[in-house]
A and B are shown apart, each in its own frame.
Chain A
Amino acid sequence: MPVFEHLEECMGTVFVFQGRSSLTEFELNAALKIACDKLHEADRIFSLYKPESPLSKLARGETSVALCPAAVDAVWNLCEKWEQLTGGFFSPFTLDRTFDPSGLVKTWAAQQAIDALLSAGVSDFSLNSGGDIWLSGHLSEADDWKVGIAKPVTIASEDAGVLTVVNLQNTEFRAVATSGSAERGSHIWNPSSGTMAESELVQVTVLAKDLVTADVWATAAFAEGPNSLNRISKVDGVEALFVFKDGRIDGTEGFAEVLRGSI
């Protein structure tokens, strides 16, 4: 089947679709266009960098959720669900109680894009949404099941490279998300203390069955710090790998199991 790759710049980062499809070039381009439109639509609605976005207006108190596009209400509800599931460590509310779902919108929109491609008949592909990886269940290339986990340094650095590699073939996991301070410095709040998440951690990588779950838990774990290991260990279908600032690592037993399966 013909190989395709498409890069889309959106939300200040880059989304990479890679895979194989038997669609014609015309059909595939049309499907990718629909998928990428989902990303841009989410950006238009949720970006707090765009002063005229519904979310910016909401933050300034110029509108209400009821007057915003339906997606705002859907994401709001989703955020509340995740806040509860993560013991409050994933929070869409800033200190002054404005709604900032940025931590979830990227992968939420990525999931919409994935669904659009799937319903267009493209099923053998992966999506890298700015460092969070999703794999379809139908990857025909053995290598595509392998996902590298970056060293906790920026990809622009000379030292950039992978820390390890997980092979997700024959596992229940389809998503790998990483949170950390390597790319954009401290940018994750600890909702319980109201300060920037500063812990011994430099990076957390989470495996889950879907992208949003992986993303949210990675963010929550980084915000909570090493104690989140116990919390995540009790969650079904979610595994984590922690990298400490001093180079130590820790992780859930399930993550070690996936590594064993990758050897």
Chain B
Amino acid sequence: MLLESSNLYTFQKPIEGKRRYRTSTIVLSVLSLVGAVGIDLWLNPNALTLLAGVSGPTTVGGVSSATGDAIESGFGPVQVKVTKESGKITAIDLIQAQSTGGRDAAFPLLVEAALAANGSNIGNVSQATYTSDAFKQSLDSALSKIK
């Protein structure tokens, strides 16, 4: 994923020489997308267990995949298949998703929507209002990671 950050320096010159800023948001977007792949880790605390103690993981040529137990997400059961490559999660497939439609289907939808955007450059992330300090902190941390 971080390879995408090589785009950083080919972007057209932003105004006022604020190259660092363009860089910053791209880095943040890239990091955000890395986060997107790990979406279920946060969403469902049980998913941590799912990843750690999955039943019958299979490994083929460094690529391992494991299917977790169906989890009551509080919004319909969801079961995911996690594929890891060299220790990195490369895919999360939904094996079982609530199909009653309507709001009940929202949990799997969240994961699917995140995965659908995987690999694209998302320009914006909506979140609770951050302070300037938190913004700078996240910027510094993101920049240090790509150095």
- Residues of A whose CB lies within 8 Å of any CB of B are 2-7, 9, 12-14, 16, 18, 25, 28-29, 32, 106, 126, 128, 130-133, 135, 141-144, 146-156, 158-167, 176-184, 203, 205, 241, 244, 246-253, 255-256, 259-260, 262-263
With A9-B132, A255-B106, A262-B117 as contacts: A3 and B14 at CB distance below 8 Å: yes
Partner of A13 from the list B38, B107, B135 (CB cut-off 8 Å) is B135
Partner of A160 from the list B12, B32, B113 (CB cut-off 8 Å) is B32
Give A146 to B120 CA distance when docked, in angstroms: 9
Tell me how far the C-beta of B34 lies from the nearest C-beta in chain A, rounded to whole angstroms: 7
Beyond A14-B130, A147-B126, A164-B110, list 13 extra A-B contacts (CB 8 Å): A13-B135, A131-B130, A147-B123, A162-B35, A162-B114, A163-B39, A165-B122, A167-B117, A177-B126, A249-B74, A250-B75, A253-B103, A263-B113
CB–CB B132/A249 < 8 A: no
CB–CB A246/B74 < 8 A: yes
Give A203 to B129 CA distance when docked, in angstroms: 11
Q: List 19 A-B contacts (CB under 8 A).
A: A3-B12, A6-B14, A14-B132, A128-B124, A132-B126, A144-B124, A148-B125, A161-B36, A161-B42, A162-B39, A163-B110, A164-B36, A179-B128, A181-B128, A182-B128, A249-B75, A249-B106, A252-B103, A263-B112
CB–CB B120/A249 < 8 A: no
Partner of B130 from the list A130, A148, A162, A252 (CB cut-off 8 Å) is A130
CB–CB A176/B126 < 8 A: yes
At the interface with chain A, which of B18-26, B53-61, B85-93?
Answer: B18-26
CB–CB A5/B18 < 8 A: yes
CB–CB A180/B128 < 8 A: yes
CB–CB B134/A183 < 8 A: yes
CB–CB A163/B43 < 8 A: yes
Cβ-based interface call for B105 (8 A): yes
Could you say which residues of chain A place their CB within 8 Å of the CB of B124?
16, 18, 126, 128, 133, 135, 144, 147-148, 176
CB–CB A150/B113 < 8 A: no
Could you say which residues of chain A place their CB within 8 Å of the CB of B132?
9, 12-14
Which residue of B is nearest A205, CB measured?
B126
Tell me how far the C-beta of A86 lies from the nearest C-beta in chain B, rounded to whole angstroms: 18
Could you say which residues of chain A place their CB within 8 Å of the CB of B126?
131-133, 147-150, 176-178, 205
CB–CB B137/A156 < 8 A: yes
The main secondary structure of chain B at its interface with chain A is: helix
Could you say which residues of chain B place their CB within 8 Å of the CB of A7?
18, 21
Could you say which residues of chain A place their CB within 8 Å of the CB of B129?
13, 106, 130-132, 183-184
Give A83 to B122 CA distance when docked, in angstroms: 34
Partner of A18 from the list B123, B127, B135 (CB cut-off 8 Å) is B123
Tell me how far the C-beta of B46 lies from the nearest C-beta in chain A, rounded to whole angstroms: 8
Which residue of B is nearest A9, CB measured?
B132
Could you say which residues of chain B place their CB within 8 Å of the CB of A152?
128
Cβ-based interface call for B2 (8 A): no
Could you say which residues of chain B place their CB within 8 Å of the CB of A183?
127-131, 134
